[in-house]
Amino acid sequence: MKLLVIGSGAREHALAWRLARDGSVGEVVCAPGNAGIEQCARVTPVEAGDPEAVLALAEREAADLTVVGPEVPLTRGVADRFAAAGRLLLGPTRLAAELESSKAFAKQFMARHGVPTARCQICESPEVALAVLATRQFGYPVVIKADGLAAGKGVVVATDQLNASVAIRAMMVDRRFGDAGARIVIEEFMEGQEASVFALTDGRRAVLLPTAQDHKRAFDNDQGPNTGGMGAFAPSPLVDDAMLDRVRDTIVMPVIEGMRAEGREFRGFLYAGLMLTADGPKVVEFNVRMGDPEAQVVLPMIDGELAPLLRDAAAGRLGQDTCRVREWPRVGVVIASAGYPDKYETGKPISGLGAAASVPGVVVFHAGTARRGNDIVTAGGRVLTVVGEGQDYRQAVSRAYEGARRIAFDGAFMRKDIGQKAIRAAHG
Ligand code: AMP
Ligand code: GLY
C-alpha cells in the first residue's frame, strides 16, 4: 500500500512513522512534511489547505490511501473532493467536520441525540449574549466559547459577570477571532478531570484507540495561557474499561449513529474531549481528527497493522471494533520556542536530536523544524515532541525527559511536570 499523509506537525510525523512500520505499507509520502519526517517518509510540498491541490497530489502519487492530519483541509471539504473523484481518504466530509468547526452545531446535535454535555445557550448577537448573562442561569464560573475555529484560543472560563461580558465583547464586537465569533456558546462550567477518547470510525462501527490526557496550559501546574498542547500521556489512568464502555455507549456510538441519521456520516478519527464529572463523563468538545500531541503518544501504542484499519475505516468497511494495544504507557513532552503561544522567533539551530533519539525507549517527533544546509533549525512554536515509553508512567516520564534534556536550541522551553498527573492517579 502507498500512503499519503497530509500535514506538517509532530502528529503527522507520528502518523508517518507508525505507518512506515507496517508490513503492508510499501511507501509513505508526507506533504508538506517537515525536516524530521524525512527520516521515515518521502516529503513533498503541497498547499495542505487547498482540497484541489491535495487531490492532484494524491492522483499524481497514485496513493492508495490519503490520511489528513489537521482539521482545516477537512473543514474545507477535502474528503468531499476525494469522494467525488473516487479516491480513498480517511477523514470526515465538510458537513461531518462541523462537529469541530461549529461548537453551536455540536451542542445542538448533542441535545438532539441525548449525548451528555454541559447545558448551554447559543447566542447570535452581543445583546442576546449579555441578556443571557444577566439571567445568571449558569452561575459562575461560566464558559464563553466562540462558535468557529480559533486555534484552541476561543474559550474563556469567566469567574464573574465583568469578565464574561469582556469576553463576549472581545469575540462578538471586536471580532478577536474573526467570523469564528459571529456566534457564541455560553455554557455551564463542569467540575472534574479531563480525558480524551479517540474512535476510528467507518460511519457505523468504531474501534476505540488508547485514551490520553493533554496538558493545554503553557506552564507547570496548569498555569499560563492555553496552547495547542504542551505534552500528553496515554493511556489515561482515569478511564478504566468500565468507563470506556460507558463512553462508547453514551457518547461515541450515539454520535456516530446520530451523524449518519442526519446525513452527515462521519468517517475518520473522532476525538471526544471529556469532563469526568460526578454525574459521569460529559463532552467538552469534539475534534474531527487526532489530537496533537495526543497522536504522538496514542499511535505508538497501537499494535499490529494500522494501515489496513485506516483503509477499512475510509472505505466504510471496518471489520472489527477493537485493536491490539501495547501495554507500556507513553509520555510525550513538547519542546517549544520562547514566547509560544504568542510571538516567537524561528531559525534557531537545534542540537542533540541524535543523542535524544539514542535514549532507550525514546522517539523524537518533529513539528516546527526545517533543514538549513546541514543544520535542522526551528520553524514553529511547537518544535518537537519527545516521547518516552516505560513499564509504568514513572519510567515513561523519566525517559521522555532524559531525551528532551539532550536537545537544545536558543529559547527552548518545556513544561517540567508532564505526566505527573498520571503518576499521581496511578501510583497515589
Ligand atoms: P475546548 O476548546 O472546547 O476544548 O475548551 C478548552 C478548555 O476549556 C477545555 O479543555 C476545558 O479545560 C475548558 N472548558 C471548556 N468547556 C468547559 C466547561 N463547560 N466546563 C469546564 N471547563 C471547560
Ligand atoms: N491537543 C488538542 C488538540 O489537538 O486539539
For the Cβ of 292 lying below 6 angstroms from any atom of ligand 2, the answer is: yes
Q: Is 181 in the pocket of ligand 2 (CB under 6 A)?
A: no
- The C-alpha atoms of residue 351 and residue 332 are separated, in whole angstroms, by 19
33 lines ligand 2 (CB under 6 A): no
Q: Is 101 in the pocket of ligand 2 (CB under 6 A)?
A: no
User: Mean pLDDT over residues 58-75, rounded?
Assistant: 97
Q: Identify the pLDDT of residue 149.
A: 85
Ligand 2 atom having least distance to the Cα of 290: 4
Distance, in Å, from the CA atom of 191 to the CA atom of 142, rounded to the nearest integer, reads 11
> Chain-wide mean pLDDT for the chain?
96
Provide the pLDDT confidence category of residue 154 given band limits of 50, 70 and 90.
Answer: confident
Instruction: Check pocket membership of 214 for ligand 2, CB cut-off 6 A.
Output: yes
The protein residue whose alpha carbon is closest to atom 2 in ligand 1 is: 152
- CA 89 to centroid of ligand 1, rounded, Å: 30
- 385 CB under 6 A from ligand 2? no
For residue 292, the ligand 2 atom closest to its alpha carbon is 4
pLDDT tens across 156-203, in order?
A: 999 999 999 999 999 988 898 888 888 999 999 999 999 999 999 999
pLDDT digits (tens, 9 = 90+) for 330-345: 999 999 999 999 999 9
DSSP 263: T
What is the rounded radius of gyration, in angstroms, for the C-alpha atoms of the chain? 21
- Which residue minimizes the CA distance to atom 9 of ligand 1? 284
Site to substitute for ligand 1 among 153, 187, 214, 285, most atoms within 8 A of C-beta: 285
Per-residue pLDDT at 306 exceeds 90: yes
What backbone phi and psi angles, to 5 degrees, belong to 348?
-85, 125
Domain boundaries, the chain: 2-93, 119-188, 192-315, 330-427
Q: What is the pLDDT of residues 19-40, one digit of tens each?
A: 999 999 999 999 999 999 999 9
pLDDT at 152 over 90: no
347 pLDDT band (50/70/90 cuts)? very high
The answer regarding whether domain 192-315 maps to CATH 3.30.565.10 reads: no
Q: Is the CB of 118 under 6 A from ligand 1?
A: yes
266 close to 287: Cβ distance less than 8 angstroms: no
Residue 194 CB–ligand 1 contact under 6 Å: yes
CA dist., res. 212 & res. 220, Å (int): 18
Pocket probe for ligand 2: among 197, 271, 415, the residue whose CB has the most ligand atoms within 8 Å is: 271
List Cα–Cα distances, 36 to 8, 233, 369, 385, 388, in angstroms. 10, 21, 7, 11, 17
In the reported structure, the alpha carbon of residue 135 is separated from the centroid of ligand 2 by a whole-number distance in angstroms of 33
How far is it, in rounded angstroms, from Cα 323 to Cα 303? 7
What value, to the nearest 5°, has the Cα angle with vertex 135 and ends 107 and 175?
Answer: 55
Average pLDDT for residues 210-220, to the nearest whole number? 96
Which CATH number does the domain 330-427 belong to among 3.90.600.10, 3.40.50.720, 3.40.50.880, 3.30.390.50?
A: 3.90.600.10
Q: How many residues does the chain have?
A: 428
223-226 and 217-219: which strand pairing? antiparallel
Find out whether 157 and 217 touch, Cβ atoms under 8 Å: no
CATH superfamily of the 119-188 domain: ATP-grasp fold, A domain (3.30.1490.20)
pLDDT digits (tens, 9 = 90+) for 229-281: 999 999 999 999 999 999 999 999 999 999 999 999 999 999 999 999 999 99
Architecture in CATH of 2-93: 3-Layer(aba) Sandwich (3.40)
Residue 151 has pLDDT above 80, yes or no: no
